[in-house]
Chains A and B, each alone.
Chain A
Amino acid sequence: MLENRTLSVFTENRVGLLARVTSVFTRRNVNIESLTVSESEVSGIHRFTIVAHVTRELADKMAAQLEKQVEVIKAFVHDEAQVIHRDLALYKIELPRGGGGAILGRVLGDHGARELLREADFCVIEKTGSPDDIAALLIALEPFGVLEFVRSGSVALTRPMKKLSAFLNELEEAHVASW
């Protein structure tokens, strides 16, 4: 079944690896819905969080092809129910005039957003949440006049994952395996 699935890919930190990781998706004509790269809890190891709309079978095959890359350490596939996602969004809106300020305050309160910055004629609002929450706030802010909008890709943590250090230990054991 086609669904959004999250791949957590742990890699060495090296120039050029991003192209190799994305080509595993693009060569199969799979669109990447979102992608973020950051450090992991282990120094020197990077973590790609990739969301793609694919079947579980294809996600597993792509994970195997990701792990085939020399500098990829481990790739995990997670179904939606297994992950906790968060996106970050920033909205720049015109400063409300008259009684608009109070209305804006209520909207932000209802959506769990906060004002990050206020200048003479605009303010910047920050919202962290699911992609749906972020889209809902965008609609709510439309009446005020949205000057700019930007959102991040998803970052995700998973419920049932072993610690990365455990996999690094397993990797070390695999290097010295013998018959």
Chain B
Amino acid sequence: MSPTLAAAAATGDLVSGATALVRSLVAEGVQTLFGYPGGAIMPVYDALYDVRDSLRHILVRHEQGAVHAAQGYARVSGRVGVCIATSGPGATNLVTGIADAQIDSTPLVCITGQVSSRVLGTDAFQETDVVNVTAPITKWNCQITRACDISEAVAKAFYIARTGRPGPVLIDFTKDAQIELTRFVHQPCVKVRSYVPRAIPSRAALAEAAALIDGASRPYLIAGQGVTLSGGEAALIAFAEKTGVPVATTLLGLSSFPTRHPLSVGMVGMHGKYGANVKTNTCDVLIAVGMRFDDRVTGDLNRYARQARVIHVELDASEIGKNVKPAVALHGDARETLEHLAHLVSPRSHDAWLAEFRACDAIEDEKVVRDELSPASGGLRMGEVVHRIAEATAGEAIVVSDVGQHQMAAARYSNFARKVSSVTSGGLGTMGFGLPAALGAKVAAPDRTVIAFIGDGGFQMTLQELGTIRQTGAAVKIVILNNSFLGMVRQWQELFFERRYSHTEMNNPDFVQIAAAYGIAGLKVAGREALSGAISAMLAHPGAFLLDVTVERESNVFPMVPSAASVSDVLLEA
């Protein structure tokens, strides 16, 4: 023992690495973490037992549930989500959620146990080289083999996860580092030399952008998740109202601008609004804020907004010019940049231009929306279920969705009146995300209604988290839009593979009975007449609730920009 350690031991200041880790988490302000124990992380779980009354640990049923719950928690709380797993399979079960958080910019700190440093690299029991496995899907990661390094690494991890463009960070703790004694001293990280999370656009670029906006006759703004991540919702509204610019959002930008704001023109992208897509190719200035021109947004890049001068407001320098070359790059935080830009632009209105979007909306209403929300016949439509729930919750709910047709229905027909109200897996498109993410969202915002729209396919990927929902008592409202198909794949098979429905039909169990087995109330609805009553019953129920809604089996999501087509060629029907 070193003289310093001996002195610390004499005064009782020595703690195990595991305790140092737990104290570091508390020092970083962690209140809740999601995890699953196992051999190589047991010292940390023992230390968690000491603080069980002050640090809430939620025991999930699968590590994938832990990471998605941490994502839902992070997205709604704006804090860093924390999940914890053991080595080997525990760690590899986190991988999908880490990749999801990386592509969707979600701040996470993932803690994994690792075999003892003495046996690293020997294929020891439950040993996986998780640092190498997760290197391409983490913002930063590291392995800790000495207790004295723990506190500094944890502080650095939280700093990196939440600053700049947020993302997932993983720290792998060998078991001996958890057991070894150390002196606990925690200092927040405030700087990493090689990493500059802040950026400020040049005055010249801001002036150039303002001149472009002032001179525009058909300006158009697309808001991405950068607006939400920067807390820039109010700044966006103020900027839009001053400039009169129509505002669309990306899938992850949903709820950054109120759905029913007079300047809102809906969502862009593969299943976005007709007007929001086609007007991309007629606007003269395109202001992209905190978004990354994902291929699901742009379609064919060679035919995307080629006529427009693009102003790209973006914090991640590697996104600027990656897909679309901007005329003006504003490398900075979305909120700060919008606030400063708002001072430089002149008040304008663009009523005639906005009316062009409304004319498109009228076409879309007639071709798509009317039949989706009020079908003359046939089974329930996903859109009408989402719409009824949006009306019943007055747009105040947090809407969580999984991935597929129901996700697009939830995105298209929800009414987002409040900010930070949409949680979905965008970039990675992770089926199975919805249920655990909804749990995390509800834990983060216990006073808000959390509606989880999930398809029958995705639900069965992580339905074991019903056990976590039961044990925590999180009152998540689960709405299964059940068509007994992997609906989005089936839609593509119908449209692009000559209706060859290869392995997309599902023979499903009774989901209400499954919920009942977990002690979760539920109802099955198959007809239009019972829908409103069932929604009311679900919302009135004090606890978690599962509503299994049988919807039209072979319905398609429109509008649709087919893969690699131009946004101008958005289809309104098959």
The complex places the Cα of A178 from the Cα of B320 at a distance, in Å, of 21
A61 near B321: Cβ-Cβ < 8 Å: yes
With CB as the reference atom, state the residue of chain A lying closest to B200.
Answer: A177
A67 close to B136 (CB less than 8 A): no
Q: Given A171-B193, A177-B200, are A64 and B322 also a contact pair (CB < 8 Å)? A: yes
Interface string of B176-218 (1 = CB under 8 A from A): 0000000000000001111110111000000000000000000
Find the B residue at minimum CB distance from A26: B136
- In Å, the complex CA distance between A12 and B135 comes to 16
Supposing A16-B132, A64-B317, A64-B318 touch, asked if A171 and B142 sit within 8 A by C-beta, the answer is: no
Contact with B along A112-126 (1 / 0, CB 8 A): 000000000000000
Known contacts A16-B131, A179-B200: A23-B316 contact under CB 8 Å: no
A11 at the binding interface (Cβ < 8 Å): yes
Chain B interface size band reads 20 to 34
Determine whether B139 belongs to the interface, using a CB cutoff of 8 Å to chain A.
Answer: yes
Q: Contacts A73-B194, A174-B196, A177-B198; is A20 near B318 (CB within 8 Å)?
A: no
In the assembly, what is the distance between CA of A71 and CA of B135, in Å?
13
Inter-subunit contact B135/A23 (CB<8 Å): yes
Cβ of A163 under 8 Å from chain B? no
Is there an interface contact between A19 and B135, defined as CB atoms closer than 8 Å? yes
Contact between A68 and B194, CB atoms less than 8 A apart: no
| Interface check B340, CB cutoff 8 A | yes
Asked, given contacts A20-B136, A23-B135, whether A71 binds B317 with beta carbons under 8 Å apart, the answer is no
The answer, yes or no, to whether B160 is at the interface (CB within 8 Å) is yes
Q: How far is the CA of A51 from the CA of B320 in the complex (A)?
A: 24
Residues in A neighbouring B316, C-beta threshold 8 A: 68
For A51-90 the 0/1 string (1 means CB < 8 A from B) is 0000000000100110110111100000000000000000
How close is A40's CB to chain B, nearest CB, in angstroms?
13
**Which B residue's beta carbon lies closest to that of A178?**
B200
CB contact list, B377-426 vs A, under 8 A: none
Choice from A23, A64, A179 contacting B136 with Cβ under 8 Å? A23
Does B294 belong to the interface (CB within 8 Å)? no
Q: Is B568 part of the contact surface with A, judged by Cβ < 8 Å? A: no
Cβ–Cβ contact A70 & B194, under 8 A? yes
Distance between Cα atoms of A65 and B322 in the complex (Å):
10
In the complex, what residues of B have CB within 8 A of residue A12's CB? 193-194
A68 and B336 alpha carbons, distance in the complex (Å): 21
If A19-B135, A27-B136 touch, whether A171 touches B318 (CB-CB below 8 Å) is: no
Complex Cα–Cα for A61 and B195 (A): 18
Q: How close is A4's CB to chain B, nearest CB, in angstroms?
A: 23
Is A175 engaged at the interface, CB distance under 8 Å to the other chain? yes
| Interface membership of B141, Cβ < 8 A | yes
**Least CB separation from B136: chain A residue:** A23
Chain B contacts of A171 at CB under 8 A? 193-194, 196
Contacts of B320 in A (CB 8 A): 64
B135 & A16 in contact (Cβ 8 Å cutoff): yes
Which of B139, B191, B195, B336 gathers most chain A CB within 10 Å?
A: B195
B135 near A68: Cβ-Cβ < 8 Å: no
The residue that B322 contacts in the complex, of A15, A20, A61, A175, with Cβ under 8 A, is A61
Chain B residues contacting A68 (CB-CB under 8 Å) are 316-318
Q: Which residue of B lies closest to A62 (CB)?
A: B318
B569 CB to nearest A CB, Å? 26
Whole-angstrom distance between the Cβ of B364 and the nearest chain A Cβ = 36
A67 touches B317 (CB 8 A): yes
Classify the interface of chain B: helix, strand, loop or mixed: mixed
List B contacts of A20 (CB < 8 A): 135-136
Chain B residues whose C-beta falls within 8 Å of the C-beta of A70 in the assembled complex:
139-140, 160, 192, 194-195
Name B285-342 residues within 8 Å CB distance of A: 316-318, 320-322, 336, 340
On chain A, the residues within 8 Å of B198 by CB distance are: 174-175, 177
Partner of B194, one of A16, A65, A72: A72
Contacts of B143 in A (CB 8 A): 15-16
Distance from A30 Cβ to chain B, minimum over Cβ atoms (Å): 14
Question: Is B318 a contact of A67 with CB atoms below 8 Å?
Answer: yes
Q: Which residue of chain A is the closest to B137 with respect to CB atoms?
A: A23
B340 neighbours in A (Cβ, 8 Å) = 179
Cα(A70)–Cα(B198), bound, Å: 13
On whether the beta carbons of B132 and A19 are closer than 8 Å, the reply is: yes
Residues of B within 8 A of A72 (CB): 194
Closest to A60 in B: B321
**A152-179, CB < 8 A from B:** 171, 174-175, 177-179
Partner of B191, one of A11, A65, A175: A175
**In the complex, what distance in Å separates the CA atom of A175 from the CA atom of B336?**
16
Residues of B with C-beta under 8 A to A61: 318, 321-322
Chain B residues contacting A73 (CB-CB under 8 Å) are 193-194
Instruction: Tell me the smallest distance from the CB of A115 to a CB of chain B, in Å.
Output: 40
Instruction: Collect the chain A residues with CB atoms within 8 Å of residue B192's CB.
Output: 70
Say yes or no: A16 contacts B141, CB within 8 Å. yes
Q: Which of B139, B140, B141, B196 contacts A175 (CB 8 A)?
A: B196
Q: Please name the residue on chain B nearest to A170 by beta carbon.
A: B196
Q: How far is the CA of A27 from the CA of B137 in the complex (A)?
A: 11
Which residues of chain A are within 8 angstroms of B139 by Cβ–Cβ distance? 70
Residues of A within 8 A of B131 (CB): 16
B536 to A: closest C-beta gap in Å: 49
Complex Cα spacing A35 to B251, Å = 40
Q: Which residue in chain A gives the minimum CB-CB distance to B190?
A: A175
Q: Could you tell me the distance between the alpha carbons of A19 and B142 in the complex, rounded to whole angstroms? A: 12
A33 → chain B closest CB, angstroms: 21
Give the docked Cα–Cα distance between A70 and B196 (Å): 8
Chain A: CB-nearest residue to B159: A70
Q: What residue in chain A is nearest B165 (Cβ atoms)? A: A68
- In Å, the complex CA distance between A174 and B192 comes to 12
CA distance in complex: A179, B198 (Å)? 11
Q: Which residues of A contact B193 (CB under 8 A)?
A: 12, 73, 171
Cα–Cα, bound, A11→B192 (Å): 12
28 contacts between A and B (CB under 8 A): A12-B194, A15-B143, A16-B131, A19-B135, A27-B136, A61-B318, A61-B321, A61-B322, A64-B318, A64-B321, A64-B322, A67-B317, A68-B317, A68-B318, A70-B139, A70-B140, A71-B140, A171-B194, A171-B196, A174-B196, A174-B199, A175-B196, A175-B198, A177-B198, A177-B199, A177-B200, A179-B200, A179-B336
Q: Which 6 A-B pairs have the closest CB atoms?
A: A64-B318, A70-B140, A174-B196, A68-B318, A70-B195, A23-B136
Given contacts A68-B317, A70-B140, 5 further A-B contacts (CB under 8 A): A11-B194, A19-B132, A19-B135, A72-B194, A178-B200
